[in-house]
Amino acid sequence: MASDMHAHGDLHAHSLENDAHVHHGHDDHDHEHHETFISKYVFSMDHKTISRQFLVTAVIMAVIAMIMSIVFRLQLAWPGEKFAFINAVMGDKWGADGVLDPNAYMALVTIHGTIMVFMVLTGGLSGTFSNLLIPYQIGARDMASGFMNMLSYWFFFLSSLTMVISLFVEDGAASGGWTVYPPLSALEKAMPGSGLGMTLWLVSMSFFIISSLLGGLNYIITVLNMRTKGMKMTRLPLTIWAFFVTAILGVLSFPVLFSCALLLIFDRSFGTSFYLSDIYIGGEALSQSGGSPILFEHLFWFLGHPEVYIIILPALGLTSEIISVNARKPIFGYRAMVTSILAIGFLSFIVWGHHMYLTGMNPFLGSVFVFTTLLIAIPSAVKAFNYITTLWKGNIQFTPAMLFAIALVSTFITGGVTGIILADSALDINVHDTYFVVAHFHIVMGVSAILGMLAGVYHWFPKMFLRHMNKNLGYLHFWLTFISAYGVFFPMHFIGLAGVPRRYYHNMEFPMFDHLQDINVLITCFAILGACAQVIFLFNFFYSMFRGPKSTQNPWGSNTLEWTTPMKHTHGNWPGALPEVHRWPYDYSKPGEEKDFIPQTVPLREGEEDGGSHH
Amino acid sequence: MKFIIYAILILAAAAIWQLIRVVELAAKLKGVDPNRVTERDNRMNGRFFFIFMIVMWITSLWQLWAYSDDLLPEAASAHGVEIDWLMNFNMLIIWTVYLLTNTVLFVMAWKYYGRDGQRATFYPHNNKLEMLWTGVPAIVLFIIIFFGIRLWNSTLAPADKSVRLVEIYARQFDWFARYSGGDNQLGKSNYKLIMGVNELGLDSSDIASKDDVILPKSDTIFLPVNEEVNFRLRSQDVIHSAYFPHFRAQMNVVPGMETFFHFKPTITTDSMRTITGNPEFDYVLLCNKICGASHYNMQMKIVVGTKAEYEAFIARKVKFLPDAAAEVKPAAPAKVDSMPKADSGVKADSVIN
């Protein structure tokens, strides 16, 4: 198909970057000859390999976190019931006779959240797709620093490994919720999981932060400095815009989480009182005085809120690309989309207080956060409407990736609107920390980001593994996943509106919640269905990796540069010169053209306007 | 039994896989790439989206109808009525947006599925449209923000000094309540004084604490109807959250600081039993911030009754330091003087609210 990229190799394009790459390429050249298994597949500095390493690690972590969710969903639907499955997963200590231990329940919800938020949807999503697509789509031979990139993965690996190890310590893993608010997380006497389990959690997060910073700095520098000739910022695919802003958010906010964790480590181990004051626990009055747990919350959510955009923006970026390619239409309102990403990125830093309306903060401060938080709905709405308009009068090709991308738009809307309730501090009073919140954030960022990630996997699988995933299994996987996602999280809103708090081991202590048990059963059934659907995906993923039919060079008829690389993975991505870019990436179905796509490497005709910089 | 289940699962998986293989082989026989998306696939998935949309309408509206009886009964506090009104107002908006935009999305997916030989319309942008869907949400949001902030400020405004002050004291996994007595002042306390029966660490040297009435853990809080009550919240160990779902009230309870929430109960427990048709209905206070293994069972019953019932209730309770000196001994430790000086009373005013 679109293999006309060779025709456009403009050899005199010796820009500064290209020169740098010639040298870089030379180093690699030596290296390539002595490539061993270790340097090629383990300590690889190649962005494509690192991307696949991130993806496979994230898939494994996602499976662990998903199994956890099934265990605690069984407990919530049929509390006290004996399940061989629970005993098999949790062992005799935490799941004696197949009944889940209350402390283990707390550990499960904590680690499920931590793994999903950090390992799967931050490390897994950005790590996989920023690594894969940034060099490919901007026309670079690799990341700015391959070595830092390699470190980024291996710190991520260490972080994931530490988190998994923490599940096996004697007193259990961290159990204070994924937000690990002190004093609960700071004092071993407060709960068993706050001992060694919590220490390992903090170690794991420290590794994660290092990984995230190494990766993020690399992404930013690569996007700014290593775009190929003609790849102006206004010609970047929206994927790259999303990854770029995401990386900036991460670099600005993760260090704050690090300081937050560091102070917690001090409080836990060195007797300081940053977060502790006036505490009497375990029959003893602690000497710590003058600290405030609220300080922790401020530091945590200063990362925590940008974090949810660190999760969702890459998913939206992938969706933008996939929807445009498969609708065979330019993305509607490219500039508005870029502006929205930037606006969301900026606003994400001034809304963290909406997690803390009920901490006793001054009501005036609360009002300010209501205002800033609700403002974020505007750029989000623009994005949603632009996606819908991109579909209008399209020629939609329902690849599995496209199905997931459209589903993301749906869940992004459905989860987004309930955010309006939670952002409204007066209404938050009664739904704060209830299942309404759980439903909201799972739909708007959990499900949406997972759908975006799966869309990305189906779409770029041919680029990553040079093979296709099975289409029909993809369809089956999609419909089961989409149906069960709504089946799990839509009814959950009602449980929240009925006042059920989150993180309850069961609700039977309160007669007022008795009649809600049917809803919990329904939710768990859909959760099991959804988990089964992921088995289909796992099979398809790993089977196709080795046995799937070989892909063609540009299977979806895309304009972006990654589809101009040859059908094998080589150092430097392009043999010979780097491609030169002449147009924006969204010239799909342009009138007067023979094909319904024009790769970015095709020069503009005389008098033709570049779609990205319109007048 | 287990074996049978596993066998069924494996056979089902194998059957699905074989079915897919058959489809693939059939496609191969026809000389088509089985993984290429065909017009038939497009039509099918487009229709699935349409069906999904219909099912989504029906099931979500059905849930709205079926579960509406399972939600909280009407608000039992003055500000709660306003919160419910605002909630319904916002719900109306978000249900409309949810149904409309999802409908438009799925109709697009259904209507514009890819047909062979068809070409999409090149339509990169339209400033007017984009202004429209920047402007309309902005206007709607400003209305929401206006009503929200107004209600927030009136609900959270500091209570008048004359409002009855009641302390809620939390520890893993109990609630305590302390009434401030006739002087409407809570005596000082200090966590270093917690010892034996002095579970709240009260300072018996503070004159204000003498008429304080402490309810033992898990006792019932009694509130007179139609009288504002100002809760002062303190925690002994970790962060808890005092959640009164029926009164639409909640505030975190944070060790080392005091937080406040005040509201006016408007419906007595008896009336609420009639309203809900449940003779066993009770108001509860529950913990809504993860606080440890028994977080799920940290509760206290609340009863709202008439003023007379309230007076009778409080008269039955023992004051912290009754005037009769003989009764002091069991309640207050004798060595009070040697204990560290209470300081939390000083802090109270400096804390927000």
Residues of B in contact with A381 (CB under 8 A): 133-134, 137
* Average predicted confidence (pLDDT) for chain A: 91
Helices and strands of chain B, counted as H and E runs: 8, 10
- For residue B347, give the chain A residue with the closest CA: A290
- For residue A430, give the chain B residue with the closest CA: B248
- For residue A179, give the chain B residue with the closest CA: B290
Judge whether A425 and B152 are in contact, CB under 8 Å.
yes
One-letter amino acid identity for B104? V
- For residue A395, give the chain B residue with the closest CA: B114
Residue B75: its pLDDT value, please?
A: 95
A384-411 tens-digit pLDDT? 999 999 999 999 999 999 999 999 999 9
B352–A361: do the CB atoms touch at under 8 Å?
yes
- For residue A588, give the chain B residue with the closest CA: B122
For the segment B323-350, the average pLDDT, to the nearest whole number, is: 43
Residue A18: its pLDDT value, please?
A: 43
For the segment B92-96, the average pLDDT, to the nearest whole number, is: 96
A395–B45: do the CB atoms touch at under 8 Å?
no
Question: By C-alpha distance, which of B103, B157, B138, B317 is closest to B222?
Answer: B317
**A interface test, pick of B123, B126, B238 with most A CB neighbours within 10 Å:** B238
Judge whether A382 and B157 are in contact, CB under 8 Å.
no
Residue A29: its pLDDT value, please?
A: 44
What's the gap in Å between the CA of B78 and the closest CA on chain A? 14
B141–A375: do the CB atoms touch at under 8 Å?
yes
- For residue B37, give the chain A residue with the closest CA: A399
Cα distance between residue A578 and residue A230, in whole Å: 11
Residues of B in contact with A491 (CB under 8 A): 63, 67
Instruction: Assess whether pLDDT exceeds 70 at residue B352.
Output: no
Determine how β-strand B220-224 pairs with β-strand B299-305.
Answer: parallel
SS3 content of chain B, % helix, strand, coil (to 5): 50, 20, 35
A437-450 tens-digit pLDDT? 999 999 999 999 99
Residue B350: its pLDDT value, please?
A: 37
Q: Name the percent of chain B lying above pLDDT 70.
A: 90
What's the gap in Å between the CA of B213 and the closest CA on chain A? 22
Report the range of poorest mean pLDDT among A82-86, A415-419, B8-12, B76-80.
B8-12
Judge whether A455 and A408 are in contact, CB under 8 Å.
yes
Beta strands in chain B (DSSP E): 164-171, 174-179, 213-215, 220-224, 229-235, 240-244, 249-253, 259-263, 283-287, 299-305
For the segment A15-36, the average pLDDT, to the nearest whole number, is: 47
Residue A158: its pLDDT value, please?
A: 97
3-state secondary structure of A597: strand
Residues of A in contact with B115 (CB under 8 A): 395
Window A:91-120, CB contacts with B under 8 Å? 102-103, 106
Residue A33: its pLDDT value, please?
A: 52
B67–A519: do the CB atoms touch at under 8 Å?
yes
Segment A461-466 long-range contacts (CB within 8 Å, at least 24 positions apart): A461/A544, A461/A548, A462/A551, A462/A552, A462/A555, A463/A132, A463/A136, A463/A562, A463/A563, A463/A565, A464/A48, A464/A51, A464/A52, A464/A55, A464/A132, A465/A52, A465/A544, A465/A545, A465/A548, A466/A550, A466/A551, A466/A567, A466/A568, A466/A569
Window A:364-403, CB contacts with B under 8 Å? 364, 366-367, 370-371, 374-375, 377-378, 381-382, 384-389, 391-399, 403
**A interface test, pick of B84, B129, B147, B149 with most A CB neighbours within 10 Å:** B149
Q: Which of B49, B67, B239 sits opposite A181 (nearest CB)?
A: B239
A471–B104: do the CB atoms touch at under 8 Å?
no
Q: Does A483 touch chain B (CB under 8 A)?
A: yes
Residue A70: its pLDDT value, please?
A: 96
Report the range of poorest mean pLDDT among A40-44, A177-181, A331-335, A432-436.
A40-44
A43-95 tens-digit pLDDT? 889 999 999 999 999 999 999 999 999 999 999 999 989 999 999 999 999 99
Residue A53: its pLDDT value, please?
A: 96
For the segment A236-251, the average pLDDT, to the nearest whole number, is: 97
Other CB atoms within 10 Å distance of the CB of residue A271: 11
Residue A34: its pLDDT value, please?
A: 63
**B219 CB burial (10 A radius; 0-12, 13-18, 19+):** middle
- Tracing tokens 């445009």 back to the chain, one arrives at A324
B125–A363: do the CB atoms touch at under 8 Å?
no
Cα distance between residue A509 and residue B218, in whole Å: 13
**B interface test, pick of A396, A478, A509 with most B CB neighbours within 10 Å:** A396
Q: Which of B16, B60, B191 sits opposite A285 (nearest CB)?
A: B191
Cα distance between residue A456 and residue A125, in whole Å: 9
Q: Name the percent of chain A lying above pLDDT 70.
A: 94
- For residue A388, give the chain B residue with the closest CA: B105
Phi, psi of B43 (to 5 degrees): -65, -45
B145-174 tens-digit pLDDT? 999 999 999 999 999 999 999 999 999 999
Cα distance between residue A378 and residue A443, in whole Å: 19
Q: Does A585 touch chain B (CB under 8 A)?
A: no
Residue B326: its pLDDT value, please?
A: 39
Residue B316: its pLDDT value, please?
A: 87
Q: Which residue has the higher pLDDT, A288 or A40?
A: A288
Instruction: Assess whether pLDDT exceeds 70 at residue A16.
Output: no
Residues of B in contact with A175 (CB under 8 A): 293
pLDDT band at A612 (very low <50, low <70, confident <90, very high): low
**CA pseudo-torsion sign A72, A78, A82, A84:** negative
**Which two tokens mark B11?**
């056979």
Instruction: Assess whether pLDDT exceeds 90 at residue A460.
Output: yes
Question: By C-alpha distance, which of A511, A287, A184 is closest to B253?
Answer: A184
Report the range of poorest mean pLDDT among A245-254, A329-338, B5-14.
B5-14
Residue B138: its pLDDT value, please?
A: 95
Q: Which residue has the higher pLDDT, B157 or A13?
A: B157
**A interface test, pick of B49, B95, B156, B298 with most A CB neighbours within 10 Å:** B156
Residues of B in contact with A276 (CB under 8 A): 255-256
Residue B87: its pLDDT value, please?
A: 96
3-state secondary structure of B317: coil
Q: Which of A358, A362, A499 sits opposite B72 (nearest CB)?
A: A499
CA distances from A63 to A67, A72, A141, A165, A166 (A): 6, 15, 33, 16, 17
What's the gap in Å between the CA of A259 and the closest CA on chain B? 21
* Average predicted confidence (pLDDT) for chain B: 87
User: Which H or E run contains A280?
Assistant: strand A280-281
**Which two tokens mark B24?**
């693939």
CB pairs under 8 A between A and B: 371
B172 Cβ contact partners less than 8 Å away, ≥ 6 residues apart:
A190, A281, B237, B238, B291, B292, B294, B298
- For residue B22, give the chain A residue with the closest CA: A472
One-letter amino acid identity for B143? I
**Which two tokens mark A13?**
């394009």
Instruction: Assess whether pLDDT exceeds 50 at residue B330.
Output: no
Instruction: Assess whether pLDDT exceeds 90 at residue B218.
Output: no
B302-319 tens-digit pLDDT? 999 999 999 999 988 888
Q: Which of A395, A414, A504 sits opposite B115 (nearest CB)?
A: A395
- For residue A188, give the chain B residue with the closest CA: B292
A498–B52: do the CB atoms touch at under 8 Å?
no
A420–B90: do the CB atoms touch at under 8 Å?
yes
A560-590 tens-digit pLDDT? 999 999 988 888 999 989 999 999 999 999 9
Instruction: Assess whether pLDDT exceeds 80 at residue B117.
Output: yes
Question: By C-alpha distance, which of A223, A444, A451, A447 is closest to A322?
Answer: A451
Cα distance between residue A313 and residue A332, in whole Å: 17
B147 Cβ contact partners less than 8 Å away, ≥ 6 residues apart:
B86, B89
Q: Which residue has the higher pLDDT, A120 or A16?
A: A120
Instruction: Assess whether pLDDT exceeds 60 at residue B258.
Output: yes
Residue B1: its pLDDT value, please?
A: 66
B114–A475: do the CB atoms touch at under 8 Å?
no
Question: By C-alpha distance, which of B39, B57, B35, B58 is closest to B47?
Answer: B39
Residue A17: its pLDDT value, please?
A: 41
Window A:39-68, CB contacts with B under 8 Å? none
Residues of B in contact with A418 (CB under 8 A): 94
Judge whether B300 and B150 are in contact, CB under 8 Å.
no
Residue B17: HSE in the Cβ half-sphere, 13 Å Cα cutoff: 12
Q: Which residue has the higher pLDDT, B26 or B343?
A: B26
Q: Name the percent of chain A lying above pLDDT 90.
A: 86
Question: By C-alpha distance, which of B344, B122, B17, B294 is closest to A591?
Answer: B122
CA distances from A334 to A223, A557, A584, A608, B102 (A): 18, 20, 10, 18, 22
Judge whether A334 and B125 are in contact, CB under 8 Å.
yes
Q: Which of B121, B125, B239 sits opposite A333 (nearest CB)?
A: B125
- For residue A290, give the chain B residue with the closest CA: B256
pLDDT band at B17 (very low <50, low <70, confident <90, very high): confident
Residues of A in contact with B256 (CB under 8 A): 276-279, 289-293
Judge whether A442 and A502 are in contact, CB under 8 Å.
no
A542-553 tens-digit pLDDT? 999 998 888 999
A360–B41: do the CB atoms touch at under 8 Å?
no
For the segment A126-132, the average pLDDT, to the nearest whole number, is: 95
pLDDT band at A375 (very low <50, low <70, confident <90, very high): very high
Residue A246: its pLDDT value, please?
A: 97
A422 Cβ contact partners less than 8 Å away, ≥ 6 residues apart:
A354, A428, A431, A432, A436, A437, A440
Q: Does A506 touch chain B (CB under 8 A)?
A: yes
| Model confidence, pTM | 0.91
Cα distance between residue A343 and residue A286, in whole Å: 45
pLDDT band at A607 (very low <50, low <70, confident <90, very high): confident
**CA pseudo-torsion sign A14, A20, A26, A29:** negative
**A interface test, pick of B19, B92, B122 with most A CB neighbours within 10 Å:** B122
Judge whether B228 and B262 are in contact, CB under 8 Å.
yes
SS3 of A353-378: HHHCCCCCCCHHHHHHHHHHHHHCHH
Q: Name the percent of chain B lying above pLDDT 90.
A: 65
**Which two tokens mark A376?**
């974020």
Q: What string of DSSP letters covers A303-319?
A: HHHHHHHHHHHHHHHHH
- For residue A368, give the chain B residue with the closest CA: B149
Cα distance between residue B336 and residue A381, in whole Å: 62
**CA pseudo-torsion sign A281, A282, A284, A288:** negative
Residue B45: its pLDDT value, please?
A: 96
A183-237 tens-digit pLDDT? 999 999 999 999 999 999 999 999 999 999 999 999 999 999 999 999 999 999 9
A358–B20: do the CB atoms touch at under 8 Å?
no
Cα distance between residue A191 and residue A175, in whole Å: 8
Judge whether B242 and B253 are in contact, CB under 8 Å.
yes
